[in-house]
């Protein structure tokens, strides 16, 4: 991971508004897709006029989490690796009036935190989880993740990954999430991503938004065996397809592609925080 040393001469107004100046520049490697996703989040904050004093950012551990760490002007809470949903559950139960936006990686949510993730969906915890899917463990040096493609070489699968990657959107849907969508960090999906993050925040219940993004440093080096940013971005382009366009592809063209779009939007179930406060009202335990 490259650590920037100089502040750019011109700062984007959204960064001025929501990011602590002393914590600039950010830490992502050149060509990483994480920055575009953060841009989308800041755009949503601005469009929805979310108040940073009422909107908390919660992060796990990994590149996607490290980029937000102590940079946001509002409250910013750090969870242990894989424990973001447990921490968010406590926060939401304590402050159901606040918005919680979660920043987590595919290792954080898909492997070490997988069980917590399932139960956050099942409990319909009313938070918005942004899962940064770079197909590898980025921050720790390129180990295999549950999203690494079959046969992908990583530092822990030098002869190729024996496992198939996980479709976490399907897991979220099956486990009961209220809102599920997937986009990429590419500029052509910026509007779709912004729309989904807004929907995720506005839908009452657990919202899971996955973003496929290029990790030039680890996925590029170990899986794609290239440091060429263009090839990393092309890979994301090639391995994804809009769900609305999937029918136009032949089975061979469709094979192995991750679908993009909005998959679930339902508000037919109350969430755990709502039920908890109803219970307190019923048994008279409310302060």
Residue 126: how many CB atoms within 10 A of its CB? 22
Contact, 129 vs 146, CB < 8 A?
no
Binders of ligand SF4 in range 53-92 (CB under 6 A): 63
Q: Are strands 55-59 and 76-78 parallel, antiparallel or unpaired?
A: parallel
Q: What is d(CA 54, CA 277) in angstroms, rounded to the nearest whole number? A: 19
Residue 236 contacts ligand SF4 per CB under 6 A: no
Near ligand TPP by CB under 6 A: residue from 32, 42, 62, 124: 62
Rg, C-alpha atoms of the chain: 19
Q: Using CB under 6 A, pick the residue from 15, 19, 32, 42 that binds ligand SF4.
A: 32
- The interface mask with ligand SF4, positions 172-211, x = CB under 6 A, is ----------------------------------------
The item of ligand TPP, ligand SF4, none sharing an interface with residue 1, based on CB under 5 to 8 Å by kind, is ligand SF4
Do 226 and 234 touch, CB atoms closer than 8 A?
no
Q: Are 132 and 37 spatial neighbours (Cβ–Cβ below 8 Å)? A: yes
Residues 6+ apart with CB under 8 A from 272: 89, 92, 93, 123, 124, 125
Task: Decide: is 206 part of the binding site for ligand TPP (CB under 6 A).
Answer: no
Q: Give residues 87-146 in contact with ligand TPP (rule: CB under 6 A).
A: 105-108, 112, 132, 134, 137-140, 145
Site residues (CB under 6 A) for ligand SF4? 1, 28-29, 32, 34, 63, 134, 138-139, 215-218
Site residues (CB under 6 A) for ligand TPP? 61-64, 80-81, 105-108, 112, 132, 134, 137-140, 145
């Amino acid at each position: 991971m490259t650590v920037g040393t100089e502040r750019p001469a011109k700062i984007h107004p959204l960064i001025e508004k929501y990011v602590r100046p002393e914590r600039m520049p950010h830490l992502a490697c050149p060509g990483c897709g994480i920055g575009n996703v953060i841009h989308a989040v800041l755009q949503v904050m601005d469009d929805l006029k979310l108040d940073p004093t009422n909107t908390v950012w919660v992060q796990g551990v990994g590149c996607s989490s490290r980029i937000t760490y102590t940079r946001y002007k509002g409250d910013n809470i750090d969870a242990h690796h894989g424990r973001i949903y447990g921490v968010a559950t406590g926060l939401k139960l304590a402050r159901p009036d606040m918005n919680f936006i979660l920043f987590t990686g595919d290792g954080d949510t898909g492997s070490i935190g997988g069980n917590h993730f399932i139960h956050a969906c099942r409990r319909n915890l009313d938070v918005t989880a942004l899962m940064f899917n770079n197909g590898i463990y980025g921050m720790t040096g390129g180990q295999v993740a549950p999203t690494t493609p079959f046969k992908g070489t990583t530092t822990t699968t030098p002869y190729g990954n024996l496992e198939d990657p996980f479709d976490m959107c399907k897991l979220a849907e099956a486990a009961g999430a209220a809102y599920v969508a997937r986009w990429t960090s590419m500029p052509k999906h910026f509007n779709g991503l912004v729309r989904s993050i807004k929907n995720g925040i506005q839908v009452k219940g657990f919202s899971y938004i996955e973003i496929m993004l290029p990790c030039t440093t680890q996925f590029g080096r170990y899986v794609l065996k290239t440091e060429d940013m263009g090839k990393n971005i092309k890979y994301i382009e090639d391995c994804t397809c809009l769900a609305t366009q999937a029918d136009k592809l032949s089975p061979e063209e469709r094979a192995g592609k991750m679908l993009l779009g909005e998959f679930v939007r339902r508000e037919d179930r109350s969430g755990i925080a709502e039920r908890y406060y109803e219970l307190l009202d019923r048994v008279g335990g409310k302060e």
